[in-house]
């Protein structure tokens, strides 16, 4: 049973779309993971900074 040219093109296009979707999905996942790590570190640093300063330093009019 032979495949026609149109069937081969459809299979190739489908495979290409699946591969492109997987690559795009992995890139988005990596970006979200990297952003989450960055935000997590930034929040951690901000919280440690807030713990080390006194309320007078934050609002001297208090």
Q: Are 55 and 62 in contact (CB under 8 A)?
A: yes
47-56 mean pLDDT: 66
Question: Which pLDDT tens digit goes with each residue over 11-50?
Answer: 788 889 999 999 999 999 999 999 988 888 887 777 776 6
Enter the pTM of the model. 0.55
pLDDT at 1 over 60: no
Measured between alpha carbons, how far is residue 33 from residues 55, 58, 62 in Å? 34, 32, 40
Q: Give residue 4's pLDDT band: very low, low, confident or very high (50, 70, 90).
A: low
d(CA 18, CA 21): 5
């Amino acid at each position: 049973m032979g495949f026609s040219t149109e069937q081969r093109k459809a299979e190739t296009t489908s495979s290409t779309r699946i591969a492109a979707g997987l690559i795009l999905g992995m890139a988005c996942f990596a970006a979200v993971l990297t952003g989450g790590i960055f935000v997590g570190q930034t929040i951690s640093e901000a919280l440690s900074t807030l713990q080390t300063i006194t309320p007078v330093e934050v609002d001297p009019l208090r």
